[in-house]
Amino acid sequence: MQSDDHPGNASNPDRVRLPVRYVPRAVAAVERVILWDIDGTLVQTAGVGAAAFAAAIETMFGVPAGGHGVSLAGKTDPQIAREILTVLDLHDDVDTYLPGLLAETERLVAAGRDRIRTRGRILPGVPALLDALRRPGTVQTVLTGNTAANAAVKVDAFELRPWLDLEVGAFGSDDADRNTLVPVALARVERRYGPVDRRRVWVIGDTPLDAACARSGGVRCLLVASGFAPRATLDAAGADHVVADLIDTAAVLSLLDEGRPGPGGA
């Protein structure tokens, strides 16, 4: 059954009409950049990613991996793979096996696209906020621990690509260290859209690792308590703001407008 949060569902109060793909717009100046986390922030994906890691390890090593106990939240796919291999005492020659393991994981995530779409969901408030942020001067993309391939599957499963310019995003396949990814994304944004003031760049995520990433990159952070981290943990993470969810579009926009120039300029 299709989730009521899907933008194509007529009963969804967040439903908006979108073009079929992202079309980059020429902008006089980049006034704001939004770097979205995916899992737990934009969408929930019915455990497809976690199942893919376990199945890929079992396929490659013949070892049951479902009970590895490694938390996936906020981490990059290469980091997750290394941690699981270490816990299962399969870390010898990890650099040799890591590319193949990630490729198999990507294959399994792609195969799970229909499950993501039918059993996962877009999180409340996301479609309306994405659409409200489609303003002149605002660039929206992703900063995610997913590899670029896995990110595309998850975004496309819920038809979110029209809002997000994935070509200027940053991914776990760019670097296993999430804290290096803000500069990666901003370099791509600047090549396509022009100079960026880091005071007007926001990471939106759901874990303390998103806040750490923003802090390392010298940009701002909004955390949303829609993932697995308790609200108290997020409150202590050092983000600029923490919200329970993204349902109140006007309130979230007001937070993200901090530092944005008014009609008279900066």
pLDDT tens sequence across 87-124: 777 767 778 888 999 999 999 999 999 999 999 999 99
Report the alpha-carbon distance of residue 132 to residue 113 in Å, rounded.
27
Helix (H, G, I), strand (E, B) or coil at 31: coil
Q: Is 262 helix (H, G, I), strand (E, B) or coil?
A: strand
User: What's the pLDDT score for residue 24?
Assistant: 56
6 or 183: which leads in pLDDT: 183
Instruction: Tell me which of 107 and 26 has the higher pLDDT.
Output: 107
Tell me how far apart the alpha carbons of residues 120 and 45 are, in angstroms, rounded to a whole number: 4
Cβ atoms 105, 53 nearer than 8 A: yes
pLDDT reading at 257 higher than 50: yes
- CA distance from start to end of the chain: 47
Work out the widest C-alpha separation in the chain, in whole angstroms. Answer: 63
Q: Which CATH architecture has domain 32-45+119-256?
A: 3-Layer(aba) Sandwich (3.40)
Query: What's the predicted TM-score (pTM) here?
Result: 0.86
